Amino acid sequence: MLQKTPSRYLNRITPPHISTLILATGLSALAMNIFLPSLPKMTEHFQTDYRLMQLSVALYLGASGILQILIGPISDYLGRRPVILAGVGLFLLATIGCVLSPTIEVFLVFRMCQAVVVVTMVLSRAAIRDMYDQDRAASMIGYVTMGMAVAPMIGPALGGLLDEVFGWKSSFWLIFILGAVTLWLIWADFGETARVAGKSLRQQLRDYPALLRSPRFWGYSLALGFSSGAFFAYLGGAPYVGTEVYGMTPGELGVFFSVPAVGYFGGNFITARYATRFGINLMVVWGGLIVAFGLALPVLLMLAGYGSPYVFFGCMCFVGFGNGMTMPNATAGALSVRPHLAGSAAGLSGAIMLGGGAALSAFAGSLLTPENGALTLLTIMLATTLAGLVAICVVIWRERQLGL
């Protein structure tokens, strides 16, 4: 264990308390999905096509991926604290822009700007890696993402309810208020954890090849990217499946949409309890197999004529559970390849994950129709999950070859 200075709550001189990291990361998760049940009404409001409105997911993920490439090195250079404070402040401004947008084009620009909140996810994980060794970091990341799972668990249901009572803008006002509270909490509690390298930003960016030349970094990052790709395809396609295929209201969709988060909470609990005992590689493999089972089952049931919203959304609990095991462990592996570049590794692996997620979200949204939407989406998700299993198996094979 690397941590030497104990955390003291609401003391900005000591490392951040775990609850602060949970709430900060939860803000990022909530901003990603709270408004998804409102997409059909937002399509009507802006008088546009659903596929254009759905770009609010894909563009957000794509911008998040690009930002992570910069966030990591900048935080290695300037420190975690000033970067995360600036990021949340800019997020608040972008959220106001979303609410006041007069057209879909302006909305999408501010929606991309909202992606700066990804700084909370990147730097919470980097701060944990600053403080703990590899397996302990996986466990602590599990606790953070377990707590963070509450946000996507209640976010869509809350967003759907707010939409029906107050309209779609109310979801954005809520995350603005929560963002302001989070900004204050980070200012009061998030002490610096990074050992600032003293290198210029250009020198920090030059460190990227050290990561890119590492097969283990690529293996963990691709395992993370492909495994989470199933979830991002779900983000892009499930609102369409719920409304156009199964005829759900925003409130109903919000409740059903939250099912994967219930499993994700459980998967992260398993990671937090057992990652140190079993090791990160085995946890990633088990998680991938659980996700594959959770996707193959509804495919078989639908082909047998038993398709329903309960089958489609119910089996997503397995997807969430498996990702709760896969994502924190693969993240800890990527951050541990070069521990002195934890911020850069967090940013680059996150960029790979979210960049792929943006592509899969847009791809899934472009292929769905009322006739084949559910089965097509499940097939895309299953294919990405199997690719993630191949990636982690290559990592395990290489480590055995090197005697690690």
Q: pTM for the whole thing?
A: 0.70
Q: Is the pLDDT of residue 63 over 60?
A: yes
Give the N- to C-terminal CA distance of the chain in Å, as an integer: 20
- What confidence score (pLDDT) does residue 199 get? 58
DSSP string, 363-403: HHHHH--TTTHHHHHHHHHHHHHHHHHHHHHHHHHHHHHHT
What are the strands, taking DSSP E only, across 282-389?
A: none
**pLDDT above 90 for 95:** yes
C-alpha 323/C-alpha 106 separation (Å) is 34
Spatial distance between the Cα atoms of 261 and 259, rounded to a whole number of angstroms: 5
Would you place residue 288 in the very low, low, confident or very high pLDDT band (cuts 50, 70, 90)?
Answer: very high
DSSP 36: G
Q: How confident is the model at residue 1 (pLDDT cuts 50, 70, 90)?
A: very low
**Phi and psi based region of residue 47 (left: phi greater than 0; alpha: psi -120 to 50; beta: remaining):** left
Residue 30 pLDDT exceeds 80: yes
User: Is the CB of residue 206 less than 8 Å from the CB of residue 371?
Assistant: no
Higher pLDDT, 92 or 17: 92
The rounded distance, in Å, linking the Cα atoms of 198 and 79 is 10
Q: What is the mean pLDDT of residues 271-292?
A: 87
- Helix 134-148 × helix 150-166 angle, to 10°: 20
Beta-carbon contacts of residue 3 (< 8 Å; ≥ 6 apart): 15, 131, 132
282: how many CB neighbours lie within 10 A of its CB? 16
Closest CA to 26 of 158, 163, 216, 138: 158
> What is the helix, strand, coil percentage profile of the chain, to 5?
85, 0, 15
pLDDT at 83 over 70: yes
Neighbours of 165 (CB within 10 A): 9
Give the residue ranges of DSSP H helices in 167-279: 169-189, 201-206, 208-212, 215-240, 250-257, 259-278
Amino acid making up residue 58: A
- Within 147-199, strands assigned E span none
Q: What pLDDT is recorded for position 176?
A: 96
| pLDDT (tens digit per residue) in 200-210 | 566 666 666 76
| Mean pLDDT over the full length of the chain | 81
Nearest to 95 by CA among 39, 34, 152, 157: 34
Cα 31 to Cα 212, 341, 384, distances in angstroms: 30, 27, 24
pLDDT over 70 (residue 20): yes
Per-residue DSSP letter, 315: T
Closest CA to 219 of 66, 399, 359, 67: 399
Sorting pLDDT into bands at 50, 70 and 90, what band is 186?
Answer: very high
Mean pLDDT of 242-255: 81
Counting beta carbons within 10 angstroms of the beta carbon of residue 304, is it exposed (0 to 12), middle (13 to 18) or buried (19 or more)? exposed
For residue range 147-165, list pLDDT tens digits in order: 666 676 677 778 888 888 8
Q: What is the CATH number of domain 18-192+199-402?
A: 1.20.1250.20
CA pair distance 240, 186, nearest whole angstrom: 36
Q: Using the 8-state DSSP alphabet, how is residue 241 labeled? A: I
* More confident site: 186 or 194: 186
Question: What is the Cβ-side half-sphere exposure of residue 306, based on CA atoms within 13 angstroms?
Answer: 10
